[in-house]
């Protein structure tokens, strides 16, 4: 009889853990950018955009600075378009101030191979010329295929390539959690 795989999920972050990680990242952004006065947060949809808005709220709480927030759609910049089924285009939503001459912090939920971030950098190149680009991610799981490193990380989570990391956020999924999903033979 052939072996059948089953998924085992283990929670690695819960709601309060995610809250603390985002609070720390917001403080680190404030420190590194000396008050975030020229910062723009651009989230990579879907969950990266949600995290960008959460970070902007925290920065406003701590520093009293309203950081412009937007989202950058990377669909047409992905290098796997021909390998995956067609997907709908998202929307790039830039703040009215744009990104020229500002420090852009790209925000994503999970950093894995680096290919999503590379696509975001290509998309950003088409919408403006920031002074600097930084990267914030809730989870860095390793396994980079490109020379990309996050400036701000909520949690470093060493994983096997066969494992998956799933992020759930209240705004899109009804709860806050990060799960590590491992397929095991039965």
Identify the structural domains of the chain with CATH numbers, from first to last. Answer: 5-77+90-185 (3.40.50.2020)
Q: In what order do the strands lie in the sheet with 164-168?
A: 5-14, 177-185, 164-168
Alpha helices in 36-144 (DSSP H): 47-63, 115-127
Across 1-9, average pLDDT: 62
Q: Which is nearest to 131 in space by CA: 91, 92, 104?
A: 104
List, for residues 18-69, the tens digit of each pLDDT value: 999 999 999 999 999 999 999 999 999 989 999 999 999 999 999 999 999 9
- The 10s digit of each residue's pLDDT in 155-170 is 999 999 999 999 999 9
pTM to 2 decimal places:
0.92
Q: What is the pLDDT of residue 90?
A: 76
Average pLDDT, the chain: 92
């Amino acid at each position: 009889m052939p072996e059948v795989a089953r998924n085992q999920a283990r929670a690695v972050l819960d709601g309060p853990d995610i809250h603390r990680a985002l609070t720390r990242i917001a403080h680190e952004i404030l420190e590194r950018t000396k008050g975030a006065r020229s910062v723009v947060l651009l989230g990579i949809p879907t969950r990266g955009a949600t995290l960008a808005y959460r970070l902007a709220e925290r920065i406003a709480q701590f520093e009293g600075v309203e950081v412009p927030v937007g989202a950058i759609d990377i669909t047409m910049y992905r290098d796997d378009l021909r390998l995956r089924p067609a997907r709908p285009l998202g929307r790039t939503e830039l703040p009215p101030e744009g990104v020229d001459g500002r420090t852009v912090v790209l925000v994503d939920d999970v950093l894995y191979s680096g290919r999503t971030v590379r696509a975001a950098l290509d998309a950003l190149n088409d919408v403006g010329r920031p002074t600097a680009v930084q990267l914030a991610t809730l989870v860095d799981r390793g396994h980079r295929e490109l020379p990309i490193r996050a400036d701000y990380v909520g949690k470093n989570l060493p994983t096997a390539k066969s494992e998956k990391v799933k992020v759930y956020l209240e705004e899109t999924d009804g709860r806050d959690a990060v799960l590590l999903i491992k397929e095991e033979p039965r």
